[in-house]
Amino acid sequence: MRMILVGPPGVGKGTQAALLEQRTGAKPLSSGVIFRSEIEAETDLGQLAKSYIDRGELVPNGITIQMMVKRLRAPEIRAKGFVLDGFPRTVRQAEALDEELAKEDIRLHRVASLEVSDEVVVARLGGRIGCTKCGEIYHQVTKPPKREGLCDKCNSPLFVRKDDQPETIRERLRVFHEQTAPVVDYYEASGLLKRINGDQPTETVYSEIVAGLTG
Ligand SMILES: [Zn+2]
């Protein structure tokens, strides 16, 4: 299974990516987790990415794409497939990804666009807490950790990510509408796109994502 999940912050892309991994073996790849693993492994790309993040700047497309492609070439990903979560974020990244996939002779099965209103996003993201180490996301109301302030998976401290503070949620939505919404139009033209109402139970969204897919 080789898939891209597109949608605003808080729509549940991470949850669906985790379900896809459990049930199909496809590996979730998000730029955040890839950045963290390259930075922790102190690779050249990781160090370069960190220099931008430390200055509060966006990691340039070229570096992000190189990290993604490095992961897409990994034997495990070749064998089991992948679910891109939160990438590509811009039409430019989508074009670059297409080129790289074509070079590697990797064919995408589907691009699922999970769609919800801004109001739903704001309600969902308030209360999110993330793990400092593994990237797992919890919610103070809908998915609390078993022990307050600690990750169930790796025992690391949890924190309200800067991304999930109220004043940044509106800004993230603005950036999403400006940069990422055109990515949906881009894939619409490819015939791979499926639009899904993201304001439904997790299992309903999941069955719509995989409907009609094999492999
Ligand atoms: Zn963790």
For the chain, give the percent of residues with pLDDT over 70: 100
What pLDDT is attached to residue 31? 81
Rounded to an integer, the average pLDDT of 84-106 is 91
Rounded to an integer, the average pLDDT of 142-162 is 93
Is 172 a catalytic site residue? yes
Tell the residue number behind the tokens 């990516």, with chain if given.
17
Rounded to an integer, the average pLDDT of 9-36 is 91
> For the chain, what is the radius of gyration of the CA atoms?
17
Q: CA–CA separation, 110 vs 17, rounded Å?
A: 13
Structural domains of the chain sorted by starting position, each given as residue range(s) with its CATH number in brackets: 2-116+180-210 (3.40.50.300)
The residue type of 119 is E
Report how far ligand 1's centroid is from the alpha carbon of 159 (Å): 11
What pLDDT is attached to residue 62? 86
Tell the residue number behind the tokens 């931008």, with chain if given.
52
Beta-sheet pairing, 2-6 with 82-85: parallel
Is residue 117 over pLDDT 80?
Answer: yes
- For the chain, where are the alpha helices, taking DSSP H only? 13-24, 31-40, 44-54, 61-72, 75-80, 91-103, 118-125, 166-175, 181-188, 202-210
SS (H, E, C) 28-71: EEEHHHHHHHHHHCCCHHHHHHHHHHHCCCCCCHHHHHHHHHHH
Classify 96 as helix, strand or coil.
helix
Q: Which of the following is catalytic: 2, 27, 36, 89?
A: 89
Report how far ligand 1's centroid is from the alpha carbon of 64 (Å): 23
Report how far ligand 1's centroid is from the alpha carbon of 138 (Å): 10
Is residue 214 over pLDDT 80?
Answer: no
Q: Which letter does DSSP use for residue 147 in this model?
A: S
Q: Which of the following is catalytic: 2, 71, 124, 128?
A: 128
pTM: 0.78
